[in-house]
Amino acid sequence: MHVQIDTQPYRYDGSKAFVEKDCPTEVATLYENKKDYKKLLEEYREEIDELQNMMYAHDRYGLLIVFQAMDAAGKDGTIRHVMSGVNPHGVHVSSFKKPSTKELDHDFMWRTTREFPQRGRLGIFNRSYYEEVLVVRVHPEILLKYQRIPKEHTQNVEKVWQQRFEDIRNLELYAHRNGIHVVKFFLHLSKEEQRKRFLARIDTPSKNWKFSSGDVEERQYWEDYMRAYEDAINATAAPHAPWYVIPADDKKNMRLIVSSVVLQQLQAMDMHYPKMDPERLKDLDGFREQLQVES
C-alpha cells in the first residue's frame, strides 16, 4: 500500500487565505530513495487507473485537473509521470499556449471550455483559463491591445479581473453541477530553483529547445506573478473546486503529492460498476455455457 499523504496543508477551498510567502516550495521527502519513489508512484498510477476505469463504466462523473505554474516548475513532467499508467482512452491532455487569431475572436474561456472532459474521463489542462487572470494581469497590454473587447468594458482594468474571477467561479460551479469535478494545482516553485533549472536547460544540449529569452525576461515580473496567483487562488478556491499549492522544488515529492490528491478526488466520487439485472445475469450464464462448449 502506498504512503498515506496528508494533503490538507496544501488544500485551499475558501476556508483559509492563501499567502504565497508563507507557503514552502520544499517539504520533507516522502520517499526513501529513487527506487522507493518509483514504487510509490506506480502504486498511485494503478489505483488511479482502476478508479478511472470505474468512472468510465459508471458514466456519471468527469474530472478536470488544472495545472498552473511558473516556467520550469515541472507541469509537463508531472502530467507524464502521474498519468502514464492510466488508460489513454480515458485521459485527454490539453495544452494552452499563446491564443490564436481565431481564439481571440471568441470569449476569453472559449478555447478551454470546449476541451472540458466528457463524463467518465479525466481532462488535464496544461495551463488554462487562469492564464487570463495571471499572464494577462501581469501584462495588461494584452487585454487592451490584443483581446478584442469593447473599450467600454476595459476602462476600469482592475474591475475586469474581478469580473473574470466571477466568471471562472460560475464556470466551475456549473461544471460541478453537471458531474464534472474540478481540481486545480499551483506547482509552487522558488525563484532560485527556477534559476537552476534554466541554467540546466542552457547547459544540457538535449534541453536547449526548452529555453527561450522570454523565460529570463519574465523573471523580472516574479513578484507581480506571485500577487496574481495569490489573488486568483483566493478568489476562486471553493469546496467543489479546490486549489492545491504543491511544493515544487523537489519534483519527485511534487509528483507523489499530486498523485495522492488525484486519487483522493476519484475516491470521493460515488462511483460503481453498472449492476446487472437478473435477466442480464441469466443471459451471461448462457453465453458462458456456449463458450465453454466450444472449448
Can you spell out the DSSP letters for 124-169?
EEES-GGGGGTHHHHSTHIIIIIS---GGGTSSHHHHHHHHHHHHH
Q: What is the mean pLDDT of each run of 10 residues along the chain (295 residues)?
A: 84 98 97 96 96 96 98 96 89 95 94 97 98 97 92 94 98 98 98 96 87 88 98 98 98 98 97 85 83 84
Q: What is the model's pLDDT at position 284?
A: 81
> What is the identity of the amino acid at 188?
H
Q: What is the model's pLDDT at position 209?
A: 85
Tell the residue number behind the cell numbers 483581446, with chain if given. 147
Total Cβ atoms within 10 A of residue 106: 13
Side-chain-facing half-sphere of 140: CA atoms under 13 Å: 10
Q: State the Cα–Cα distance between residues 238 and 167, nearest whole angstrom.
A: 14
CA distances from 123 to 81, 83, 115, 120, 290 (A): 16, 11, 8, 10, 40
193: which residues sit within 8 A by CB, 6+ positions away?
Answer: 25, 248, 249
Q: What is the model's pLDDT at position 121?
A: 97
Q: What is the model's pLDDT at position 214?
A: 83
Q: What is the model's pLDDT at position 140?
A: 95
Q: State the Cα–Cα distance between residues 24 and 47, nearest whole angstrom.
A: 28
Q: State the Cα–Cα distance between residues 95 and 181, nearest whole angstrom.
A: 19
Q: What is the model's pLDDT at position 1?
A: 53
Q: What is the model's pLDDT at position 212?
A: 83
φ, ψ of residue 152 to 5 degrees: the values are: -65, -15
Model confidence, pTM: 0.93
Q: State the Cα–Cα distance between residues 87 and 294, nearest whole angstrom.
A: 32
